[in-house]
């Protein structure tokens, strides 16, 4: 059996002697924590030199490389050269290779974690591996090295100044012993604490390595975010006690062996390679691939009772909304002549906090959620006219406000999400995740269509399967494609119509992949099939062109018009009272919801896109769920599932002009019955 | 039944070997040397060459080693370095590393029934009031290397209980000389006071009041070495191997408070000095040092600790027979 001796230089009271299986081999791992005792560490190395297969040292000051030369503490040199026979490793090579990779990997997956954050290093010189990747990601770095090492009252702000600092001080640093009593006190609560410490503690994310953090007093970590190389079970307990919010751990505890650390890992590689060899960066890359190492975020402290906040941006729906303020009641009668001027003037104003939605409680996990509603001052017309940059800037200001107010996610409402690239730029620059809410909008529209079909009752439903035909006009667009895929699951026959045939063929194959039993018809002209369809979804970008001849549609058909502007104009709709035309579905949130402002809907009904933001907050899924104009089939299915779990329900079906009442459904049904019976009568009379 | 003793060449270990050779078939003594003069009169003793600071503690190899390991029923780990002159790293090597190596050795003993580990009462935190038997206090401030390393070693023993054998931790108090012969090979604990008092006896006779930094109610947890060895033998004999982990405090009953002890010292030299207790401070501590009382005794002078003896009394009612008054003559009769 191979023996690994691990010496934890910066730890105390953490000794063990265990046998573990790693890479299919059993190793005896012996650890002694020497608590900054260089002499003891050296004696242990000398004692076991030749008795064990590898000696791993953790917590000693590591070699710091500059562009020209390097800095190595004499104690480190003394320890690393103490053994004559057994190789000594300190995990430096793994750290050099793996930490930048891990941070980069995490950044690519979760850019929000780092965006617009001020990052503070306890001692950047001891964590050189973190500095490079983080300085690429973030521009605001604070390095407390002068305070950490020598209690000097200033901070460094770039890798270059760090290099300078170390070069100047290296003779002094070399003469200093590595001792516990030099450790500075970051918990200083006095009024007279240095400005440097103040600046460091003002950072959003603190960066340190296990060896440094282990011997600090940790009460200053309360409610903070930490980036750390590795967390030993001993440190984990300490962090838990300190009230730390979350930690990004580069090397999570491996399930095979929770006591692993960088130098033991390097020791394992060393043993595998054999005596007389040196571990190289390539070996580490191989290991990272083999074991599939990846960083994780561990949440230490989560207050479940706390109300989770989300934010949502709306805008005045029309000019007349600008005069709804009580103070505006005297000029309200002049709103027509003043309208244009007011619209222009008020667009100069920045966005502001408008009101809040209170009392949302998830049915699934009981999480309380509160919505902060912000508004920009542009009317839809202004939003479309002005440059996207101007609107982005306004919305970003609101995102920052929302972040400061403690909300975790931002939703873009109504026209604010169609400005420019539909949220992509805003998401990149915002401190909190941003969503457009289109996934739930699509889902709720389909719920509305389904409900409308059920209310009219012309289509038989067996085992949740509609025995009828559905048509999607504009099926190759993103909403159309998603609708077609979802509808194909619950309808007997589906017709997909769009101008470009080759795209339709692609879509047909995709649908058949999801549901091989579906009957799919393809058409480039919607009118060919409109007389047999029971439900028609139109999602074109026709900009007012006629895409569907409403006169040819089957009586009792439901047309769900998702396009904006509408495909079916109101004056056309009036000509067919026997056809139900719906525009969207709006939803209610679970719980005793109290909205203290007018968002343009009655009672507790909210926009589906707002509901998506609330849903994400309820689920604790703070990510940019839907962005850009495209929506995604999987996302719609997921939000649909989330909505059902948390209790977001369809409440009203919207038509062209407001909600559609049950009476209107009855009326439409009667008209359709008459029309359906008439041809039969004719047939009877003809012979 | 065979027993393996480490530290058999030490002060307590020597007494233990004598005691245990009566009940056990063979007593294996792990030591670096062989055939010690000291144990010539004992027949059922066998010396095992080994060093607890080595990764492979016992120097045997192959079948000899496995045969030996299989024959051991009880292990008594009494080896420790208790030397004020020794460096921190040497103490660490013997006490912590040695214990961890022994713990590793235990895993390869197939027929092992129990493991006895001799800890010390010094693991208790002198800033607290009560040292419980069944747990190790959380502690990070140590004044001397001995108590620190013994604390770490007990932590290792306590945190790694085995399913195969039972673990018994024994915390003897300050060990003093044989209660019959009074033999004490080296100066330790209360003997520092005795030495100092003997030295300054004349001066004390003419000094009515001496300010001294100490806690008059601090208990001196002392036990004579022969009592200690006998109690350990009794504990090993009576073990029913049921509860996985037990801890015993071996401290004589009616252990004296410092006030009483100083009174006895007065009697010894014939002085009538009143010792005025002042709070711990640097000046008086250095005064104590001048008297020849080393740093590692100081915690006992200010300690407010009392020691839990619940499970000791359960398994070892005889502990009450060892009283301070029954053996105090050997402390003060010595000259």
Task: Assess if residue A654 is contained within a domain.
Answer: no
Is A44–B97 a contact, with Cβ atoms under 8 angstroms apart? yes
Which tokens sit at A321? 């909304």
Do A345 and A490 fall within a single domain? no
The token pair that represents B329 in the structure block: 């003559």
Under the banding of pLDDT at 50, 70 and 90, the label for residue A685 is: low
Q: DSSP 3-state assignment of A408?
A: strand
CB of A48 within 8 Å of any CB in chain B? yes
Contact A13 B152 (CB under 8 A): yes
Q: Tell me whether residue A73 is in a domain.
A: yes
Residue A182 lies in a domain: yes
- Domain's final residue, options A71, A89, A107: A89
Q: B58: which DSSP letter?
A: B
Q: Are residues A461 and A599 in the same domain?
A: no
Which run of H or E residues covers position B226? Answer: helix B225-238
A176 class by beta-carbon count within 10 Å (0-12 exposed, 13-18 middle, 19+ buried): middle
Pair A339, A429 in one domain: yes
Q: Are residues A506 and A553 in the same domain?
A: yes
| Cis geometry, peptide bond prior to residue B245 (ω within 30 degrees of 0) | no
A40 touches chain B (CB under 8 A): yes
Report DSSP letters for B78-104, one per residue: ------TTS-HHHHHIIIIIHHHHHHH
A414 part of a folded domain:
yes
Q: How many domains does chain A have?
A: 4
Residues of chain B with pLDDT under 70: 35, 334-335
Query: What is chain A's mean pLDDT, rounded?
Result: 82
CATH code for position A470? 3.40.50.720
Asked if residue A75 belongs to a domain, the reply is yes
Q: Is B59 an 8 Å CB contact of chain A?
A: no
Domain final position from A89, A109, A129: A89
Residue A650 lies in a domain: no
B211, β-bridge pairs: B276
Same domain, A620 and A488: no
Q: What is the dihedral of CA A487, A492, A496, A502, to 10 degrees?
A: 110
Structure tokens at B7: 């530290």
The pLDDT of A372-379, averaged and rounded, is: 86
Work out the minimum CA distance from A215 to partner chain B, whole angstroms: 12
| Chain A hits for B96, Cβ within 8 Å | 15, 32
Q: Is the ipTM of this complex over 0.85?
A: yes
pLDDT range class, residue A189, cuts 50, 70, 90? low
For A395-442, the pLDDT digits (tens) are 888 888 888 888 888 888 777 777 777 778 888 888 888 888 888 888
Going by C-alpha positions, the residue among A637, A646, A639 that lies closest to residue A588 is A646
pLDDT at A377 over 80: yes
For residues B268 and A142, what is the distance between their CA atoms, to the nearest angstrom?
68
Say if residue A363's pLDDT is above 50.
Answer: yes
Would the CB atoms of A3 and B55 count as touching at under 8 Å? Answer: yes
Q: Are residues A145 and A280 in the same domain?
A: yes
> Is the peptide bond between A683 and the residue preceding it cis, with omega within 30 degrees of 0?
no
Token pair of B40, please?
């010539």
How many CB atoms sit inside 10 A of residue A496's CB? 29
The H or E element that residue A475 is part of is none
What is the residue whose two structure tokens read 């994780």? Answer: A296
Provide the CB-side half-sphere exposure for B206 (13 A, CA).
3
Domain carrying residue A185: 92-263+276-299
Domains of chain B are 2-176+220-254+305-322 (3.40.50.720), 190-219+255-304 (no CATH)
Q: How, if at all, do strands A308-314 and A296-299 pair?
A: unpaired
Query: How does DSSP classify residue A247?
Result: E
* CA gap A562, A441 in Å, rounded: 10
Mean pLDDT of the A589-613 span? 80
Both tokens assigned to B166: 């039972």
Q: Which of A12, A37, A51 is facing B54, going by the closest CB pair?
A: A51
Q: How does pLDDT run across B127-157, given as a tens digit for each residue?
A: 888 999 888 898 888 888 888 999 999 999 9
- Cβ A28–B96 below 8 Å, yes or no? no
Q: What are B232-245's pLDDT values in tens digits?
A: 999 999 888 888 88
What lies within 8 Å, CB to CB, of A376 at 6+ separation is A313, A314, A315, A351, A383, A391, A394, A395, A398, A416
Q: Which residue matches tokens 């040199």?
A: A77
Nearest to A47 among B56, B93, B100 (CB): B93
Residue B335 is predicted with a pLDDT of 41
**Do A325 and A406 belong together in one domain?**
yes
Helix A478-490 × helix A633-646 angle, to 10°: 60
**Alpha carbons B90 and A37: distance in angstroms, whole number:** 12
Q: Which residues of A touch B53 (CB under 8 A)?
A: 47
Which among B53, B89, B103 has CB closest to A17?
Answer: B103
- Grouping H, G, I as helix, E, B as strand and the rest as coil, residue B317 is helix
DSSP string spanning B21-35?
A: HHH-SEEEEEESS-S
Best CA proximity match to B178, nearest among B223, B146, B210, B118: B223
- The answer to whether B108 faces chain A, any CB pair under 8 Å, is no
- Distance of alpha carbon A542 from alpha carbon A497, whole angstroms: 13
Lowest mean pLDDT among A135-149, A251-265, B36-50, B84-98: A251-265
| Closest approach of B142 to chain A, Cα-based (Å) | 12
Distance CA A402, CA A280 (A): 47
- Rounded to the nearest 5°, which phi and psi values hold at A239? -65, -40
Q: Is A414 left (phi over 0), alpha (psi -120 to 50) or beta?
A: left
Alpha-carbon gap, residue A551 to A495, rounded angstroms: 19
Interface test with B, best of A1, A40, A53 (most B CBs within 10 A): A40
Same domain, A100 and A224: yes
Res A348 pLDDT > 70: yes
Is A518 contained in some domain? yes
Are A492 and A385 contained in the same domain?
no
Nearest CA distance, A13 vs chain B (angstrom):
6
Residues A369 and A454 in one domain: no
A305-331 burial code (b ≥16 CB/10 A, e <16)? eeebbbbbbbbbeebeebbeeeeeeee
Residue of chain B minimizing CA distance to A44? B93
Q: Are residues A405 and A462 in the same domain?
A: no
B-chain residues near A44 (CB < 8 A): 89, 93, 97
> Can you tell me which residue has the tokens 């590692």?
B296
Give residue for tokens 């419980």: B132
**Are the beta carbons of A117 and A305 closer than 8 angstroms?**
no
Residue corresponding to tokens 């003779």: A171
Report the alpha-carbon distance of residue A443 to residue B68 in Å, rounded.
75
| Among A167-181, A269-283, A349-363, the least confident range | A167-181
In the prediction, which pLDDT does B171 show? 93
CB contact under 8 A, A51 and B88: no
- In this predicted structure, the answer to whether residue A505 has a pLDDT above a threshold of 90 is no
Query: Quick one: pLDDT at residue B235?
Result: 92
Q: Give pLDDT, residue A181.
A: 64
Angle in degrees, 0-180, between the axes of helices A262-273 and A92-109, rounded to the nearest 10:
120
Q: Give me the pLDDT at residue A441, please.
A: 82
Max mean pLDDT among A7-11, A449-453, B67-71 falls in B67-71
| CB contact (8 A) between residue B140 and residue A12 | yes
Tell me the shortest Cα–Cα distance from A40 to chain B, in angstroms. 5
The answer to whether the CB atoms of B92 and A3 lie below 8 A apart is no
CA–CA min distance B20, chain A (Å): 30
Q: A293 and A190, same structural domain?
A: yes
Whether pLDDT at A642 is above 80: yes
């Amino acid at each position: 059996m191979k023996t690994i001796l691990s010496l934890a230089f910066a730890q105390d009271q953490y000794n063990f002697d265990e046998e573990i299986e790693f890479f299919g081999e059993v190793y005896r791992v012996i650890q002694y924590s020497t608590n900054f005792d260089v002499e003891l560490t050296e004696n242990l190395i000398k004692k076991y030199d030749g008795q064990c297969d590898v000696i791993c040292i953790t917590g000693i000051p590591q070699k710091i490389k500059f562009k020209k030369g390097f800095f190595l503490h004499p104690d480190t040199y003394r320890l690393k050269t103490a053994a004559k026979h057994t190789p000594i490793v300190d995990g430096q090579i793994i750290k050099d290779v793996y930490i930048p990779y891990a941070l980069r990997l995490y950044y690519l997956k979760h850019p929000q974690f780092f965006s617009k954050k001020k990052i503070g290093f306890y001692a950047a010189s001891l964590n050189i591996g973190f500095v490079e990747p983080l300085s690429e990601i973030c521009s605001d770095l604070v390095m407390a090295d002068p305070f950490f090492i020598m209690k000097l009252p200033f901070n460094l702000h770039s890798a270059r100044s760090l290099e300078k600092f170390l070069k100047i001080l290296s003779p002094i640093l070399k003469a200093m012993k590595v001792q516990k009593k030099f450790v500075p006190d970051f918990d200083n609560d006095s009024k007279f604490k240095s400005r440097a410490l103040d600046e460091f503690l003002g950072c959003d994310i603190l960066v340190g390595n296990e060896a440094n953090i282990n011997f600090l007093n940790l009460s200053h970590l309360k409610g903070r975010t930490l980036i750390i190389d590795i967390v030993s079970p001993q440190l984990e307990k300490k962090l838990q006690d300190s009230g730390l919010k979350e930690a990004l751990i580069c090397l999570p505890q491996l399930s095979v062996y929770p006591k692993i650390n960088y130098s033991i890992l390097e020791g394992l590689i060393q043993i595998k390679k054999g005596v007389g060899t040196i571990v190289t960066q390539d070996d580490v890359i191989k290991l990272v691939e083999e074991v599939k190492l990846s960083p994780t975020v561990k949440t230490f402290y989560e207050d479940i009772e706390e109300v989770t906040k989300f934010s949502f941006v709306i805008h005045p729906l029309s000019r007349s909304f600008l005069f709804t303020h009580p103070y505006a009641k005297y000029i309200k009668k002049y709103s027509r002549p003043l309208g244009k001027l007011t619209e222009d003037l008020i667009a100069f104003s920045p966005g502001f906090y408008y009101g809040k939605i209170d009392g949302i409680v998830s049915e699934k996990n009981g999480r309380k959620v509160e919505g902060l509603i912000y508004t920009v001052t542009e009317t839809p017309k202004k939003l479309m006219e002005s440059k996207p940059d101007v609107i982005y800037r306004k919305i970003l200001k609101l995102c920052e406000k929302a972040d400061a107010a403690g909300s975790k996610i931002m939703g873009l409402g109504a026209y604010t999400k169609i400005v420019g690239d539909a949220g992509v730029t805003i998401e990149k620059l915002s401190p909190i995740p941003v969503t457009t809410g289109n996934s739930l909008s699509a889902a709720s529209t389909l719920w509305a269509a389904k409900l409308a079909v059920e209310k009219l009752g012309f289509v038989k439903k067996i085992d949740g399967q509609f025995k009828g035909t559905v048509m999607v006009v504009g099926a190759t667009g993103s909403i159309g494609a998603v609708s077609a895929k979802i509808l194909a699951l619950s309808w007997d026959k589906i017709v997909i119509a769009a101008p470009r045939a080759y795209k339709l063929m692609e879509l047909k194959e995709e649908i058949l992949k999801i549901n091989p039993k579906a009957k799919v018809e393809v058409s480039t002209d919607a009118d060919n099939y409109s007389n047999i369809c029971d439900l028609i979804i139109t999602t074109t970008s026709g900009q007012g062109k006629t895409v569907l001849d409403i006169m040819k549609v089957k009586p009792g058909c439901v047309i769900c018009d998702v396009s904006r502007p509408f495909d079916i104009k109101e004056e056309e709709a009036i000509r067919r009272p026997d056809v139900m035309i719906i525009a969207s579905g709006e939803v209610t949130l679970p719980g005793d919801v109290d909205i203290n402002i007018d968002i343009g809907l009655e009672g507790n009904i909210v926009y589906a896109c707002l509901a998506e933001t609330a849903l994400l907050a309820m689920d604790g899924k703070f990510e940019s769920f839907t962005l850009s104009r495209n929506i995604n089939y999987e996302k719609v299915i997921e939000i649909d599932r989330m909505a059902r779990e948390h209790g977001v329900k369809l409440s009203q079906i919207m038509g062209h002009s407001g909600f559609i009442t049950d009476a209107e459904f009855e009326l439409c049904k009667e008209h359709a019955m008459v029309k359906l019976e008439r041809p039969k009568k004719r047939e009877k009379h003809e012979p | 039944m065979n027993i393996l003793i480490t530290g058999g060449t030490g002060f307590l270990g020597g007494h233990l070997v004598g005691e245990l050779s009566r009940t056990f078939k063979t007593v294996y003594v792990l030591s670096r040397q062989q055939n010690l003069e000291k144990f010539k009169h004992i027949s059922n003793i066998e010396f095992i060459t080994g060093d607890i600071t080595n990764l492979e503690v016992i120097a045997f190899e192959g079948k000899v080693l496995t045969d030996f390991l299989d024959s051991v029923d009880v292990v008594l780990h009494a080896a420790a370095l208790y030397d004020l002159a020794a460096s921190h790293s040497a103490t660490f090597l013997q006490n912590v590393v040695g214990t961890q190596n022994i713990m590793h050795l235990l895993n390869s003993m197939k027929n092992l029934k129990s493991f006895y580990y001799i800890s010390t009462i010094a693991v208790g935190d002198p800033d607290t009031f009560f040292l419980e038997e069944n747990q190790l206090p959380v502690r990070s401030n140590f004044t001397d290397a001995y108590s620190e390393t013994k604390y770490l070693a007990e932590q290792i023993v306590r945190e790694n209980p085995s399913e195969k054998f039972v673990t018994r931790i024994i915390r003897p108090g300050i060990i003093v000389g044989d209660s019959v012969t009074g033999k004490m090979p080296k100066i330790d604990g209360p003997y520092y006071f005795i030495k100092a008092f003997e030295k300054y006896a004349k001066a004390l006779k003419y000094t009515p009041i001496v300010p001294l930094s100490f806690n008059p109610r601090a208990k001196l947890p002392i036990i004579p070495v022969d009592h200690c060895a006998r109690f350990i033998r009794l504990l090993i004999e009576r073990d029913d191997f049921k509860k996985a982990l037990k801890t015993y405090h071996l401290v004589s009953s009616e252990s004296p408070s410092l006030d009483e002890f100083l009174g006895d010292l007065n009697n010894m030299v014939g002085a009538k000095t009143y010792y005025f207790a002042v709070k711990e401070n640097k000046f008086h501590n250095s005064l104590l040092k001048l008297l020849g009382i080393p740093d590692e005794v100081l915690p006992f002078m200010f300690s407010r600790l009392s020691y839990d003896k619940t499970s000791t009394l359960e398994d070892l009612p005889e502990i009450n027979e060892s009283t301070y008054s029954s053996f105090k003559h050997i402390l003060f009769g010595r000259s």
